[in-house]
Amino acid sequence: MGAKGRPMTADSLLVVVSGPGGVGKSTVVKALVDRYPELWLSRSWTTRKRRPTEDPEAYVFVSREEFEARIEADGFLEYAEFLGNYYGTPVFVPPDGRDVILEIDVQGARQVLRRETEAVLIFLQAPSQEEQLARLRRRGDPEEKVAQRVQKATQEADAGRELNAQIVTNFDINETVEIMWSIIEKARAAQGRTGL
Ligand code: 5GP
């Protein structure tokens, strides 16, 4: 058992991927775990409604009551409120002792890093603000939500730069996945992990 609520195997590496909205975090992270079976992606809980085009597996979609009951039961490694909805990482045990990827916002990243000092933090950023805006719009959120997310993304970019993160610019998904894997491999080697 690690710090409160982290029953991870002692030798699992914890990789936190964060970054402002619209940088393609979830696409990149999905490609990363599809390519490298050494990694396991934690599935978050959220009280946000599922977007019509969104994969039903993207999150565990729950009510505020269900989320708050899990907070009470100490069932989250971290959680945060983001634009009026809760998002949280449920306490987990990674299957087969695999290394763990968390894709979370900067508030969550800060909480995890306070407790897990060995965690690796990768902060993704967009190649340009135009690209980031276009991505936020493509999600099909109403314009008012897009505006809130744009404002939030600017704050997050500043907050992320203050954390001691490895900053990766997402110019090209394949290239980004390989850069992230090389960061992770280095950390795995430093902890003496080589196989699965
Ligand atoms: P979205 O609504 O775009 O899916 O997610 C909004 C933000 O919440 C993103 O920055 C995403 O990375 C973050 N997020 C997703 N899951 C979690 C989580 O479990 N904890 C925290 N703190 N943030 C999360």
CA distances from 147 to 43, 53, 87, 137 (A): 27, 20, 20, 9
What would the pLDDT profile of 47-80 be if each residue is shown by its tens digit? 999 998 899 999 999 999 999 999 999 999 999 9
Euclidean distance between CA atoms 72 and 56, whole angstroms: 26
Residue 121: its pLDDT value, please?
95
Q: Which of 41-45, 113-117, 151-155, 157-161 has the lowest mean pLDDT?
A: 157-161
Name residue, tokens 């909805």.
Answer: 85
Own/partner long-range contacts of 187-191 (Cβ < 8 Å, ≥24 apart): 187/13, 187/15, 187/120, 188/13, 188/38, 188/99, 191/11, 191/13, 191/118
Compute and round to an integer the Cα radius of gyration of the chain. Answer: 16
Report whether pLDDT(2) > 70: no
Candidates 3.90.400.10, 3.40.50.620, 3.30.70.580, 3.40.50.300; CATH matching 14-42+96-189? 3.40.50.300
Cα–Cα distance measured from residue 135 to residue 25, given in angstroms and rounded to the nearest whole number:
11
Sheet of 120-125: strand order equals 39-41, 99-103, 14-18, 120-125, 166-169
Residue 44 Cβ inside 6 Å of ligand 1? The answer reads: yes
More confident residue, 132 or 79: 79
What is residue 10's predicted lDDT score, i.e. its pLDDT? Answer: 57
Ligand 1 geometric centre to CA of 76 (Å): 14
Residues of the chain with pLDDT > 90, as a percent, come to: 65
Average pLDDT over residues 157-183: 91
Cα(44) to centroid(ligand 1), Å: 8
Q: Whose CA is nearest to atom 6 of ligand 1?
A: 82
- Domain residue extents for the chain: 14-42+96-189
* pTM assigned to the model: 0.91
106-115 and 143-162 helices, crossing angle to 10°: 30
- Phi, psi torsion values for 40, nearest 5 degrees: -130, 130
CA 168 / ligand 1 centre spacing (Å):
18
pLDDT-wise least confident of 9-18, 35-44, 104-113, 170-179: 9-18
